[in-house]
Amino acid sequence: MSDDCLFCRIVAGQIPSRQVWSDDQAVAFLDIGPWQRGHCLVVPRRHLVDGTSQADAWREVADGLTAVARLVRQRLGAAGVNFLSNAGAVAGQEVFHFHVHVIPRYEDNPGMSGLVRRDPTAAQDLDGLWAHLTALE
Ligand code: 5GP
Ligand code: ZN
């Protein structure tokens, strides 16, 4: 736990997040600045800076990646997802606690060009979206 790390503080519950999944090694929550509807981050509970130095980092988030991908397919009707992890400021990393973006993709905005073209409506009603993702079946 690093007191000055945003994601350590989210994992510890010191900063609120809209959590959609967790296990003993990792946590997944809605990204506050989503590119597409239902954009989530999967982060290991322990502080690791990025995914370039330890294969363990990826093992710790692996179950979360598949669980969140399944969730957004089933609950939001995503037709696919992009898994993306930025490592290093030059790659666009802004939070230096390893995380993998799970970005749901929809039929009306396909392909890599659709990924970088943010959906301006994706950040609307995050609370309603969260309730939908976490409602018991
Ligand atoms: P990076 O650029 O480091 O790969 O991604 C960091 C991500 O964290 C961004 O997509 C950004 O929207 C998200 N983010 C930044 N601050 C917060 C926060 O306080 N809560 C949540 N849920 N996401 C955040
Ligand atoms: Zn951290």
Report whether pLDDT(136) > 90: no
Report whether pLDDT(137) > 80: no
Q: What is the mean predicted confidence (pLDDT) over 116-130?
A: 91
pLDDT of residue 64: 98
Residue 114: which of 50, 35, 44 has the closest Cα?
A: 35
Distance CA 64, CA 136 (A): 18
pTM of the model: 0.96
Instruction: Report whether residue 19 contacts ligand 1, using a CB cutoff of 6 Å.
Output: no
CA distances from 69 to 15, 47, 103 (A): 24, 23, 8
- pLDDT tens profile 1-24: 788 999 999 999 999 999 999 999
Ligand 1: residue of 21, 30, 94 to mutate (most ligand atoms within 8 A of CB) is 94
Distance CA 64, CA 50 (A): 16
Instruction: Report whether residue 86 contacts ligand 1, using a CB cutoff of 6 Å.
Output: yes
Residue ranges and CATH numbers for the domains of the chain are 6-108 (3.30.428.10)
CA of 99 to the centre of ligand 2 (A): 10
- pLDDT tens profile 33-77: 999 999 999 999 999 999 998 999 999 999 999 999 999 999 999
Q: What is the DSSP string of 107-122?
A: TTS-HHHHHHS--TTT
In which band, very low, low, confident or very high, does the pLDDT at 101 lie, cut at 50, 70 and 90? very high
Per the listing, tokens 């018991």 go with: 136
